A and B are shown apart, each in its own frame.
Chain A
Amino acid sequence: MRAFARLLDCLVYTQSRNRKVALLGHYFRTAPDPDRGWALAALTDGVPIRIPLRRMLSDLVTRFIDPVLYRLSRDYVGDTAETVSLLWPDDRVIVSTADASEAQPASDEKPRQLALEFTPPPTAPRRGEGRNGLFPSPLREVNRDGPNIGDNSGEPPELSLGAVVAAMADGTTAERTERLGHILDQLDATGRWALLKLIGGAPRVGVSARLARTALAESYARDVSEVEEIWHALTPPYLDLFQWLDGTAERPDPGSKPVFRPVMLAHPIEEEDWPRLSAEDFAAEWKWDGIRVQIAARGGEVRMFSRQGDDISGAFPEIRSAFHGHDCVVDGELLVMRDGVIAPFNDLQQRLNRKTVTPKMMQMYPPHVRLYDLLFDGHEDLRGLSFEERRRRLEEWHANHHPRLTDVSPLVPFKTFGELGELWSSARAEGIEGLMLKRRLSPYQAGRVKGEWFKWKRAALTLDCVLMYAQRGSGKRSSYYSDYTFGVWKTDDNGETQLVPVGKAYSGFTDEELLILDKWIRGHTTEAFGPVRAVEPEIVFEVAFDSVQPSTRHKSGVAMRFPRIHRIRWDKPAAEADTLESVLGLVGGSASNAEAASSNSA
């Protein structure tokens, strides 16, 4: 528990990706089994424990603290796990996480590995007995530097993650609540926090599941795709995975489980690419504005993965049932579609980032998968075949099986790039982000392979917006105001104009421009709220974006998709920036609307 607690505690305060990877790698290479596997589970798919944790904690905490104080504390802290870890009495701590230096990867010292199993001390008096609140009895007698309670060996007994998971795995809720109380008693505040993050799911320590897998692979000098390919066939605590990484066993075989295959990605096409390419070597297809997914069906199981290999099937039972009984791995675009018409991206967003879905949501936002590629047909791996050949197999396969809620993304026929260019510039239909160019002979390879696939996003729309708020960036940019919220003018019924925010961007300017903007913002702040400053409405940004969609996130009722600062219009007075009407004219995204709108204010 100690090493894990230190790991999480360091991660939460570390901004640099490389340092996070180093911290994780050090932990995975030094922590014992099965602890490192449980830790990996906590950071990725979650430790498979089903307990009503919030209720159990509330039950435990209100035994020794007034419910009003608990509520005030939780409101202040904003996180139940952290609130409980801070409130819990320290008077029986026997596992201390003190001395942060040991968690540094630079340290040669291995984390202590004391595998004493957790045994609840049955005779110790229960905390809180006869007390009405948190009275400190003599002042500051809590030992924060080391253990001293009934332990003469000088070494604290270590609570293993495996023991914690075992204690939470079975029994009635009441039994598990008591066990949880005993475990919390033994840990210091950081340990308690880490424990609750371990069993609570979604630890939110600034590490994505993919980053955790990447750090794991890199620390064993493996490519992350080697881990991803077998990931979804594995179960916590991943003993077989670690054995393979340690070199003591073969790579686990996914066998009959549907697993994720690393996705092939495209490079944005640049001006200098064109002369090197021949039209006859490439096939073109529309780039749909949804999210890229991979569906793997095998042995009665169906999984849908995001591009990063996260399993998102839970929120899409319709897709699971559509592919049920098939045996394939397909690549496609997940969309929301009604009567054959693609809905705005915002509709799809309603269904993303959730674990489950309500019948109402299923009805309101029906999903659809537009297929791009076929990776496996049964057990046959097609990835070595050319795009052309795979495409033929995809069409054939789809004609034979035709899973519901799917269609095949059509190829866009063309003879010359000039002809294709015309199609590209006229394409502003809902749901189209641009064109894809795929080399006819390209095999399906992991990642962004140079010269094989290109994405040709349709030309951006631009509007002149006024800087309203600036926020400090993170990491290297933490001393700069580098995240900008901008707005356009809205005229109300009384003819009064005010700025309403339409988007936020933090890219598209040079370092020099950032310095100038940062200085300007500090000198023109009208109000500060924490890391955010409101500024005088003076700076005009020409903002480029892919489309505008209805949104409840902004007061304006619209949101830009992929906004970035195109230019800083030092020359333009703020009063001449665009209006909300111009923006509303772009919703749905037709080119003629865009031209009409921007000509108003040009």
Chain B
Amino acid sequence: MTSSAPSVDTWLYPVGSGIYCEPGDFYVDPGRMVDRAVITHGHSDHARAGHGAVLATAETIAIMKVRYGEDCAGSFQPLALGEAISINGVRVRLAPAGHILGSAQVVIEWAGRRAVISGDYKRASDPTCAPFELVSCDVFVTEATFALPVFRHEKASHEAEKLLASLAAEPDRTHLVGAYNLGKCQRMIRVVRDAGYDKPIYLHGAVMALTDLYQKLGIDLGALHAVSETDAKTMRGGIVMCPPSALGDRWSRRFGDPVTAFASGWMRVRGRARQLGVELPLVVSDHVDWPELIQTVIETEAEEIWVTHGREDALVHYLGSIGRKARALALVGYGEEAE
């Protein structure tokens, strides 16, 4: 990279609720309707309806269509992971982020500089999406959802075994697993399958459409049935997947005395789990934990770290203390979708 090139923040900068690339005239994950948007992944705080043109992976486009309808953007242009295009002379490539199916980092190169907008990402293994690709860059834009050193996520396979052990110990109680309905839910089903569980798994209505889509896109999740079409007795002692909000909802009463489980990185902290009345906390996250976050930031060799959302205070402080240039972007509306 040439040192005479204009610094990245002269052509790439936060505008209200998203990041704008001036020479390319496009936004990344904008929070309001824009003419041209590059979308990192399908979670609602990153992908919104109503843009003129959307560039994203085919999977992310499919997810957006399921969530918001076929015509939720003026036009869609799929770009495969690893492929690059040029937008007004700005080179844009999508690199896998390892967050959920279709999730991508946006690699933007212009005037001899490279910035990576990572969206949400993780480094731990996830059989439902492509693994994170490390891209060295000048500016690395990162989330900070779990940017406190207390956050170290467990291996998902370990937490799946914990769930199966609880099922074995409490064979008469239905296990209600609260998991975010895009990504976490399907990953939990997959890792439970990998741990050897082959009985049908029951789904809350709110997780069905996206789970169907995952299966259509080639993620094998085994036998799945709708809770609404199944007798409560049949589900006794089985696994029911639902959105976290349903755990304390009237909907959950049909299961009698269920074991309530919640798959989330927040479950690392007992107080959080107790506050929610969770009996079986499963520390599974689709975000990087603290060690992975710090490792990733260092491995990108970025001169500058921009922090989008989460615990930016802790991360910016820490990176500063080890001699890295870091700043919080203070974007509006990020991190609203539950982990």
Contact = CB atoms under 8 A, between A and B. Distances in A.
Are A and B co-members of a single complex? yes
Interface stretch (A78-86, A150-158, A302-310, A483-491): A78-86
B158 interface: yes
A88 to B, nearest CB: 10
Given A14-B279, A90-B152, A100 B269 contact: no
A193 B271 CA distance: 13
Contacts of A136: 291-292, 294-295
Contacts of A474: 277
A79 B271 contact: yes
Interface string B113-154: 000000000011000000000000000000000001111101
Interface string B92-123: 00000000000000000000000000000001
A577 B196 CA distance: 60
Interface centre among B248, B268, B322 (most CB of A within 10 A): B248
Interface stretch (B5-13, B65-73, B312-320): B312-320
Given A83-B150, A479-B250, A133 B274 contact: no
Interface in A80-128: 82-83, 86-87, 90, 98-101, 104, 106-107
Interface stretch (B32-40, B83-91, B161-169, B326-334): B161-169
B250 A77 contact: no
Contacts of A14: 279
Interface in B251-282: 252-253, 257, 260, 268-271, 273-281
Contacts of A76: 148, 150, 269, 311
Contacts of A15: 277, 279
Nearest to B157: A145
A139 B278 CA distance: 29
B149 A65 contact: yes
Where chain A touches its partner, the secondary structure class is: loop
A104 B171 CA distance: 12
A69 B252 contact: no
Contact of B155 (A12, A13, A78, A140): A140
Nearest to B281: A13
B321 interface: yes
Contact of A531 (B123, B275, B290, B314): B275
A77 B269 contact: yes
A360 B161 CA distance: 56
B268 A86 contact: yes
Given A73-B150, A135-B295, A99 B165 contact: yes
A132 interface: yes
A255 interface: no
A530 interface: yes
Nearest to A82: B270
B153 to A, nearest CB: 9
A90 B268 CA distance: 14
Nearest to A530: B275
A77 B155 CA distance: 21
B249 interface: yes
Nearest to A472: B248
The interface size bin for chain B is 35 or more
Contacts of A135: 291, 294-295, 298
A69 B148 contact: yes
A451 B231 CA distance: 48
Interface in A410-455: none
Nearest to B293: A136
A478 B258 CA distance: 11
B314 A72 contact: yes
Given A66-B318, A86-B268, A134-B290, A472 B150 contact: no
A324 B313 CA distance: 57
Contacts of A326: none
Nearest to A64: B149
A476 B257 CA distance: 7
Contact of B149 (A79, A87, A479): A87
Nearest to B273: A13
B294 A13 contact: no
Interface string B155-190: 100100110011011100000000000000000000
A516 interface: no
B127 to A, nearest CB: 16
A144 interface: yes
B69 to A, nearest CB: 28
Contact of B321 (A79, A90, A132): A132
A518 interface: yes
B158 A69 contact: no
Interface residues of A, number: 47
A189 B250 CA distance: 35
Nearest to B164: A101
Contacts of A79: 270-271
Given A86-B150, A134-B290, A144-B155, A72 B271 contact: no
Contact of B317 (A13, A69, A139, A479): A69
A133 B152 contact: no
Contacts of A100: 162, 165-166
Contacts of B270: 12, 79, 82, 193
A12 B321 CA distance: 36
A478 B176 CA distance: 14
A68 interface: yes
A136 B152 CA distance: 11
A73 B313 CA distance: 11
Given A134-B290, A136-B291, A136-B294, A69 B268 contact: no
B252 A13 contact: no
A77 B291 contact: no
B123 A139 contact: yes
Nearest to A14: B279
B250 A69 contact: no
B184 to A, nearest CB: 19
A72 B270 CA distance: 17
Given A72-B311, A77-B269, A133 B295 contact: no
A101 B292 contact: no
A66 B321 contact: yes
B312 to A, nearest CB: 11
Nearest to B257: A476
B158 A104 contact: no
B181 to A, nearest CB: 19
B318 A69 contact: yes
A132 B322 contact: yes
B166 A101 contact: yes
A136 B298 CA distance: 11
Interface in A20-69: 65-66, 68-69
Contacts of A132: 321-322
A68 B278 CA distance: 30
Given A69-B317, A72-B311, A132-B322, A479 B169 contact: no
A65 B294 CA distance: 14
B150 A77 contact: yes
Contact of A69 (B168, B279, B295, B314): B314
Interface of B: 123-124, 148-152, 154-155, 158, 161-162, 165-166, 168-170, 248-250, 252-253, 257, 260, 268-271, 273-281, 290-292, 294-295, 298, 311, 313-314, 317-318, 321-322
By Cβ-Cβ distance, the 5 closest A-B pairs, closest first, are: A136-B291, A101-B165, A86-B150, A104-B169, A478-B277
Given A72-B313, A104-B169, A133-B294, 15 more contacts: A13-B274, A69-B317, A76-B148, A82-B269, A86-B151, A87-B149, A100-B166, A134-B290, A135-B291, A136-B292, A144-B154, A474-B277, A518-B250, A530-B275, A531-B275
11 contacts: A66-B317, A69-B148, A76-B148, A76-B311, A77-B150, A87-B149, A133-B322, A134-B290, A140-B291, A472-B277, A519-B250
Interface of A: 12-15, 65-66, 68-69, 72-73, 76-79, 82-83, 86-87, 90, 98-101, 104, 106-107, 132-136, 139-140, 144-145, 189, 193, 472, 474, 476, 478-479, 518-519, 522, 530-531
